[in-house]
Structure formats: structure tokens, C-alpha cells
Amino acid sequence: MQHQLQVELARKALAHIDAGTTDKGQEVLRCAVSEYTSNDWFAREKATLFRDYPLFLGLSSLIAKPGDYLAEDYGEIPTLLVRGDDGVARAFVNMCRHRGAPLTKGCGRQASFTCPYHAWHYNNKGELVSLPDKRSFPGIDPQQSGLLPLPTLEKDGMLWLLPRVQTDPAQDLNSLLETHLAGLSSELSSYRFGDYHADMTRTITRRANWKQPIETFLEAYHFKTLHKNTVAPLFFHNMCLFEAFGLNHREAVIRRSIEGLRELPENQWDFITHSAISYQLFPNTVFVIQADHVETWRVFPSRDRVDECVIRFDCYVPEPVITEKARKHWDANIDLAFRTVDEEDYQISIDIEKAYLSGALDEVIVGQNEPSLGHFKKSINQSVIANS
């Protein structure tokens, strides 16, 4: 983050501390509980939000070297992300062109992919290289039978995907993403994410509508109660800085340590150390800049249950973890961070979902002190209604 912006945000935070205030939304919102329980709404969300918008996949180091791949099957389309021998990151539909079997699962590094069913063989650019008993497939042109490509973009150390089979091969994901990020891309590029190293990942399934785990990140109003025994003492309660970028936003919650900046000249101010900055990358990623590492939480609707989601957590660190001491440090710290979110935030998400399914409440309320949450809910709502 540029230093000038860090100074502006730090000034704003200190002013809020002095006045006992926070950034606010324009209005109190009333939100329909059915958006978390209705199968109809759920189908509309999946058909629009997870097809029409660029989805954040991860930082470049997720597939650092040629041949590195990552297969994911929790989105709407089974996806194989792979870095080719030419260094280019590409994504494909992870289905063999013969009878549709997934080519691989999980992650790893390999020069090519052999289908586990009948051994059709593809290189890491997705081209069909060979197929057994080729003479039994007259009229099937191997050059036309490569894996189906999905629009993919690697930019400023970030990997993006448009999760639909390319109908227009000339579609420019870069310009689509620029429009989608609405001015946020230069800020994201300032972090030099290409220098980070993928270090740890976890994938969990939880019984809550996919929006619930995202929403736990979007306000600091719950710190003093839900996190009273964990992170609450580190942060100012019920205080956030908020800025919208189209359907996305930046939210910063403020560490108590920021008071120390008052003693320093502004040219030495470092806002990142004294805050937790999260970008909500619409629709399904919460991207958190912590003082010493980056966390991404990508949340996907379950394939067939409105009240279930899959959450993929990735942690990226500034230096590769080589020594045992460093390994222990990161294991302990990240495990604590993950467990706090999972055992406190996601547990309340699960409890809320169960309560919503009772049908006893039609509406819930978002206060003006929860501007990020209000923005997320409005963004989802508007996009679904506009596109379906």
C-alpha cells in the first residue's frame, strides 16, 4: 500500500479513536432471511455471481513453477489451473474430452496429465497429445480435442478466472477485471503479491450459507463479545475504515498499537502493522493483509445445499519458510488465526444458519456501524437481481 494512503488511513483511524466514532453506512438495512435459506435465490446466485464475474483464485506462488497445478471442484465448474512449460498460467475445465473424467485431483507438479479412465494424454498447455487406439476415433481431430480453456489472467502476482467456458475467445479478461475492480487494481498492485510464497492451505466444509462466513469478516461490532477471549484485546472495538470500489470494498480494523504512531513523524507511519486490512473481492473472497502475512478466504456455495459451503483458506508469507524455527512460528500463529475464525466466527455462522432455517424471522438488521457488511449485502442483492 502506498505510503501516502497509509498516512491518510492512519490519520482517519486516530481521529475516530479521539472522537469515539467509526466509518458508517448511509442507512440501517433490513435484509431478507430468505437470501440465506431459499433454494430459488440460491440457484440465482450460483447462476450469476459464480459465472459472470472474475473470481480470484490465489497468488501466483500457488502454481510457482512450470507444471505446477491445482484442481478445484468446489466451484460451479471443475477447474484445473496449471502453469505451462512456457510459464503461462492457464485454467481448463477439469474434464477429459473423451468421456469427461476429471484428469487429476488436488495439487502437485507434472509435465502432462493422463486421464485415469482410458489414458487420453494432455500436456500442461491443455493440448491432447495422444490417445490409445486412435484408429477407433476417426473424425476426431486431436487438435480440436484439447481441454476446454477458461479465461485466466495473471496480473500483479494475482491469478483470476472467469468461470465459464469461453464463448468469445477474444474476451479480454484484463479489461473485464479492470472494470470489475473499479479503481482497486492499482492499490492491489502496490503490495507486490508476486513476491509472496504460498505456505499453507486448508479446505473445510461448514453448514452455513456461503455468505455467512464472508460476513463474519465484515464488521468489528462483534469483537468485544464473540472474540472476548482471543483477539478482542488487540483491536479497537466497533471501529472500522471503509471504502467501496464498485462491488468490492476495503475495510480496515484498527490495532490498539496504532496509538504509538502519535509519537512518530508521519513519514515513519506504517498503517499495515497497526491494522488488519481486508479486501472483499466480489463475490466470494476475503483477502486479508495482516501485519506479517496475507490470508485469503474463498467461500463457495455447496453444489446442492443452500445451507452448506466450502471454504478454502490460503496463507502466503513474505519469505519462504526454510528453518525449523520459522516453520514452528508460522504453524503456531496460523493455526491460532485459523482456529479463532473457525471456532468463533464460523461457529456463529452455523448457529445463525440453523436459526434462519426455522423460518421464524423474515428480516435481520445491519447497522450503520457495519458499512462493509451493508455494502456486501447490497452488492450481492443488486447483482443477482440485475442478472437473473
> Contact letters (x/-) for Fe ion, 343-382, by CB under 5 A?
--x-------------------------------------
| Residue 165: all three cell numbers together | 467456458
Q: Does 161 bind ligand FES (CB under 6 A)?
A: no
| Residue 89: all three cell numbers together | 498460467
What are the start-end ranges of the E strands in 12-51?
29-32
Q: Does 187 bind Fe ion (CB under 5 A)?
A: no
- Which of 81, 115, 289, 380 touches ligand FES (CB under 6 A)? 115
Within 10 angstroms of residue 367's Cβ, the number of other Cβ atoms is: 16
Which one of Fe ion, ligand FES, none is in contact with 118 (Cβ closer than 5 to 8 A by kind)?
ligand FES
Within 10 angstroms of residue 152's Cβ, the number of other Cβ atoms is: 21
Least distance from C-beta 115 to ligand FES, angstroms?
3
- Which of 101, 272, 321, 364 touches ligand FES (CB under 6 A)? 101
Query: Are 95 and 107 contacting, i.e. CB atoms less than 8 angstroms apart?
Result: no
Q: Does 121 bind ligand FES (CB under 6 A)?
A: no
Least distance from C-beta 241 to ligand FES, angstroms?
51
Beta strand pairing status for 294-301 and 309-317? Answer: antiparallel
Q: Does 80 bind ligand FES (CB under 6 A)?
A: no
- Which of 27, 43, 85, 117 touches ligand FES (CB under 6 A)? 117
**243 contacts: CB under 8 Å, gap ≥ 6:** 249, 250
Least distance from C-beta 120 to ligand FES, angstroms?
4
What is the rounded CA–CA span in Å between residue 84 and residue 64? 11
Q: Does 17 bind ligand FES (CB under 6 A)?
A: no
Q: Does 156 bind Fe ion (CB under 5 A)?
A: no
Query: Are 115 and 128 contacting, i.e. CB atoms less than 8 angstroms apart?
Result: no
39-48 and 371-387 are packed helices; what angle lies between their axes, rounded to 10 degrees?
A: 80
Q: Which residues bind ligand FES (CB under 6 A)?
A: 96, 98-99, 101, 115, 117-120
Q: Which residues bind Fe ion (CB under 5 A)?
A: 216, 345
